[in-house]
Structure 1
């Protein structure tokens, strides 16, 4: 539940049918703005193309996506591209397919096949990676707790991603989202010097403030 598949980098693919050329580019993206920037990039890269069709999917869920047929018959371009993204389970990805018209109309089925195949080739030309969904924990404490906190972090093999030692100490951890409740219990128990079974949702360590987010 904490992980999902993403592209490891950019890739490209090209499909030809009856003189028309379909040039597909795949880009890793994290936001809609980044995704739409890819469309503008391809409009500049392929000014002779009348159609720059695309699909993107963002994040770990299934609700952040968009398709665009950019003037092609409805459902013949964006949806087939998205279908290839979903076929391999990718997210945080944008695919734009730019079409060079070859003089022969391909028909609905021909267009669907062409956009699908171009997207598929771009995906197959690249590689994938795994993104972990994380949550940050910020620990603030007085220096009297420095020893117990550092000992607990070492004992639980937790690495600090940020630290600030000013008037009070502050350290930040980044944990896989699903492990936060159990790790938080173990952390409080280790700092307080009690058994983890003694730690419930209301348990607090005097002098220690923990924020999630």
Structure 2
């Protein structure tokens, strides 16, 4: 499994105009092909009077499923350029739909490729992108004398504390990136002289959004 990947947390919209043709782009985070298909049908109904609703999506992290459609535009001039923007930015689990209202002037194959590329970029730029990190929740139990050292280790590593419980001992729950697991556990063991108790919890993905850590 990939330890981290870039995706869209919150979709965005954008628009460009090329020779009176309007290109309206909408982006979405998606997890499954069924979800992507349902969104495409919904957008087609929303823009029912448009000449074209072209799209591309990638679903999956390690071996992503990729699909695209020119929706009536000349072959390779719409869906493929949209997909190339997605893959060029190394985004995963993303759907981009570009709706075209024809302005009366033919753009030619080169003009269409440039327009759909620019529209896709505008939509992605308007989205909120995040890097999702794979890891797990680690619960650490220590006495009060060892708390300062453990807090120092967590702070040095930039680990996010999800919860703290203070009784006769202290329990903290932190998010640990999978790729740093062995190193962090070893540091806590050494820092607490083997006194800290640790329990590995649920695996998850997490990402920082607007300065706050979000668990998926």
Question: TM-score band (shorter)?
Answer: 0.5 to 0.7
Aligned residues: 195
SS of equivalent residue, structure 2 residue 22 = strand
Once the two structures are overlaid, the 10-residue window that deviates more, 48-57 or 104-113, is 104-113
The residue number in structure 1 matching 2:214 is none
Partner residue of 1:156 out of 153, 158, 161 = 153
TM-score normalised to structure 1 length: 0.66
**Contact (CA 8 Å) 1:134, 1:174: kept in 2 or not?**
no
* 1:25-44 mapped onto 2 (5 Å cutoff): 25-27=26-28, 29-32=29-32, 35-44=36-45
Q: Structure 2 CA distance, aligned partners of 1:115 and 1:170? A: 52
Deviation, 1:12, is 0.6
Question: What does residue range 47-126 of structure 1 map to in structure 2 within 5 Å?
Answer: 47-57=48-58, 63-103=64-104, 106-124=107-125, 126=126
Whole-Å separation in 1 of the counterparts to 2:199 and 2:6 = 34
Aligned match of 2:135: 135
1:5·1:90 contact (CA, 8 Å) conserved in 2?
A: yes
C-alpha contact (below 8 Å) 2:14/2:25 kept by paired residues: yes
Deviation per CA, 1:112-162: give whole Å up to 9, x if none.
3332232233345x2664424131133376xxx554774553231254314
| Secondary structure, aligned partner of 1:70 | coil
Q: Secondary structure at the match of 2:71?
A: coil
Residues in 1 aligned to 2:31 and 2:127: alpha-carbon distance in whole angstroms: 20
Report SS of the residue matched to 1:136.
strand
Taking the aligned partners of 1:98 and 1:86, their CA distance within structure 2 comes to 20
Given that residues 6 and 129 in structure 1 are in contact (C-alpha distance below 8 angstroms), is that contact kept between their aligned partners in structure 2?
A: yes
The structure-2 alpha-carbon separation of the partners of 1:94 and 1:53, relative to structure 1 and needing over 3 Å to count, comes to same
Task: Return the alpha-carbon distance in structure 1 between the equivalents of residues 85 and 153 of structure 2.
Answer: 41
Indicate the residue corresponding to 1:12 in structure 2: 14
In the alignment, structure 1 segments of 5+ residues that lack a partner are 195-204
**Residue correspondence of structure 1 range 193-208 to structure 2 within 5 A:** 193-194=193-194, 208=198
Task: Give the root-mean-square deviation of aligned CA atoms.
Answer: 3.9
Match of 1:174? 175
Q: Give the TM-score taking structure 2 as reference length.
A: 0.65
Q: What's the offset of the Cα at 1:68?
A: 2.4
Change (3 A) 1:129 1:99: closer
Structure showing greater Rg: 1
